[in-house]
């Protein structure tokens, strides 16, 4: 009898869960707001770099949207953010030995200093940042360093290929400056062969002279590499007008469905509201914040009463400082909230493949047991890992918090990442909606089964 009862209970529970997940997907696919909300964010506001007017607009926009969806509480969390501006569009060209000029598209890396007017220098190329580190000062001094290290297209997991190249962008200026270079150019961290330079964050060290840093499109990088490899000497001319301003006030935007049983036990879901200043931040990370807001909207519309408080956070400043994520973690800790879990979506609005989970073995085992519920939805990845830049700082404050990362298909992400091409048109409606439904479904299971 006992076995029979348990079996019956299991079937009943499964069936209730199946039904709720099916209702979530129906709402997302038949009556979803995700696509129109993302259109509005991308087209009516556009790019929203921390400290920009558009970032301020996007904060208002987010607050209004969350109010319109009737979340129980909507509020702003004050933070301070760095403020960097690209200034006038960059200009650059190469001068061939015979005097012919060729225009080159460059874009300053985020945080770069300006060139202080026109800067010129002989190009010296390295095929990898490791080669630059081994170079002698006399090879580099007074020149403009060009690091032509491509992302590895043979790597199936594009985020791994990106991670392997990240030091080029992050440390290129430091390594080149140590050897006396005037400036550093990097091949964009992007996979396609096209003409969009990809920006992104870079670092300086206080003790090392700050030199300008910019990205070339992969097409220009190949073109210049071919010329240099053929023994031609090239002069590179560039002007970048970037400026750093003092830190300034900004906000994380927060919306909540209050827990009916445990209002003080929190599950946070979110992404980042800021974006780079090129393109529209459609996949990075418009899609992520829309996923999470839509997940909350769906739960609300389905009249779901969560046991725990489900909180959506639109973090500000993930791209160049992560002040939103850091401040949020400290603030939650100070308030002495019980923080159960956090989920981040910051890998674009593509077809869902699954989730990563960074948690205790017992939570992870339960998490993996969700897998059959999602087979009809083609989610197959239930793996270790997860988290992300915005929710990472929570782990430092709450060692037993469970972090989750949404994993969409990653093949197209580095086509558009941090480039002018990251626009609304590259986001597919169904793919975006399926992401919101997958996240809402996992949040529902976290709330009812996991905690």
Minimum CB distance to its own copies, residue 17 (Å): 17
Residue 385, interface with its own copies (CB under 8 A)?
A: no
Determine the interface stretch with its own copies among 26-34, 165-173, 262-270, 335-343 (rule: CB under 8 A): 26-34
The C-alpha R_g of the chain, in whole angstroms, comes to: 24
Give one DSSP letter per residue of 304-358, joined into a string. ---SEEEEEEEES-TTTT-HHHHHHHHHHHHTT-EEEEEEE--S-SS-EEEEEEE
Alpha-carbon gap, residue 224 to 250, rounded angstroms: 41
Minimum CB distance to its own copies, residue 24 (Å): 11
Residue 428, interface with its own copies (CB under 8 A)?
A: yes
Q: Using CB under 8 A, pick the residue from 60, 103, 380, 384 that binds its own copies.
A: 380
Q: Using CB under 8 A, pick the residue from 21, 25, 109, 220 that binds its own copies.
A: 25
Judged by CB under 8 A, the number of residues near its own copies is 26
Spell out the alpha helix ranges (H) of 127-244.
129-134, 137-140, 158-178, 218-229
Nearest to 433 by CA among 256, 229, 240, 291: 291
Nearest to 445 by CA among 308, 338, 352: 308
| Footprint (CB under 8 A) of its own copies, residues 74-113 | none
State the residue for tokens 């190249």: 165
Determine the interface stretch with its own copies among 176-184, 225-233, 390-398, 424-432 (rule: CB under 8 A): 424-432
Minimum CB distance to its own copies, residue 354 (Å): 9
Residue 353, interface with its own copies (CB under 8 A)?
A: yes
Nearer to its own copies (CB atom), residue 353 or residue 395: 353
Show the site string, 402-421: x = touches its own copies by CB under 8 A, - = not.
-------x-xx--x------
Residue 429, interface with its own copies (CB under 8 A)?
A: yes
Residue 451, interface with its own copies (CB under 8 A)?
A: no
Alpha-carbon gap, residue 119 to 199, rounded angstroms: 20
Give the bridge partners for 338, in sequence order: 265
Alpha-carbon gap, residue 345 to 324, rounded angstroms: 15
Alpha-carbon gap, residue 3 to 90, rounded angstroms: 71
Residue 376, interface with its own copies (CB under 8 A)?
A: yes
Footprint on this chain of its own copies (rule: CB under 8 A): 25-26, 29-30, 153-154, 156, 158, 191-192, 351, 353, 376-378, 380-381, 409, 411-412, 415, 428-431, 434
């Amino acid at each position: 009898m006992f076995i029979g009862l348990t079996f019956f209970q299991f079937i009943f529970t499964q069936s209730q869960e199946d039904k709720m997940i099916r209702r979530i997907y129906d709402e997302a696919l038949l009556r979803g707001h995700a696509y129109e909300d993302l259109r509005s964010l991308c087209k009516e506001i556009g790019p929203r770099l921390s400290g920009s007017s558009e970032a301020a607009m996007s904060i208002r926009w987010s607050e209004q949207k969350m109010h319109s969806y009737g979340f129980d509480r909507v509020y702003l969390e004050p933070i301070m953010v760095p403020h960097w501006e690209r200034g006038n569009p960059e200009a650059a060209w190469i001068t061939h030995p015979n005097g012919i000029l060729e225009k080159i598209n460059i874009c300053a890396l985020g945080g770069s200093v300006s060139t202080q007017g026109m800067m010129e220098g002989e190009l010296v190329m390295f095929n990898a940042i490791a080669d630059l580190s081994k170079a002698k000062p006399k090879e580099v001094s007074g020149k403009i360093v060009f690091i032509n290290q491509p992302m590895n297209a043979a790597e199936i997991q594009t985020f791994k290929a990106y991670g392997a190249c990240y030091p080029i962008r992050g440390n290129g200026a430091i390594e080149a400056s140590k050897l006396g270079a005037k400036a550093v150019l990097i091949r964009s961290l992007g996979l396609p062969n096209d003409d969009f330079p990809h920006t992104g964050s870079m670092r300086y060290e206080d003790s090392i002279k700050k030199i300008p840093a910019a990205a070339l499109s992969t097409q220009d990088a190949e073109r210049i590499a071919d010329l240099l490899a053929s023994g031609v000497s090239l002069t590179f001319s560039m002007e970048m007008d970037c400026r750093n301003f003092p830190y300034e006030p900004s906000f994380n935007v927060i919306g909540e469905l209050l827990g009916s049983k445990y209002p003080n036990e929190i599950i946070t879901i979110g992404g980042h509201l800021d974006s780079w200043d090129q393109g529209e931040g459609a996949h990075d990370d418009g899609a992520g914040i829309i996923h999470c807001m839509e997940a909350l909207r769906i739960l609300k519309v389905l009249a779901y009463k969560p046991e725990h408080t489900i909180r959506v956070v639109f973090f500000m400043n993930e791209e160049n400082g992560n002040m939103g994520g850091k401040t949020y973690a400290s603030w939650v800790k100070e308030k002495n909230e019980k923080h159960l879990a956090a989920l981040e979506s910051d890998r674009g609005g593509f077809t869902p493949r699954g989730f990563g989970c960074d948690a205790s073995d017992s939570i992870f085992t339960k998490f993996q047991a969700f897998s059959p519920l999602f087979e009809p939805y083609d989610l197959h990845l239930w793996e270790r890992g997860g988290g992300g830049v915005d929710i990472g700082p929570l782990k430092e404050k709450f060692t037993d918090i469970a972090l989750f990362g949404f994993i969409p298909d990653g093949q197209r992400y580095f086509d558009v990442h941090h480039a002018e091409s990251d626009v609304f048109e590259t986001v597919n409606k169904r793919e975006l909606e399926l992401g919101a439904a997958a996240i809402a479904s996992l949040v529902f299971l976290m709330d009812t089964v996991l905690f």
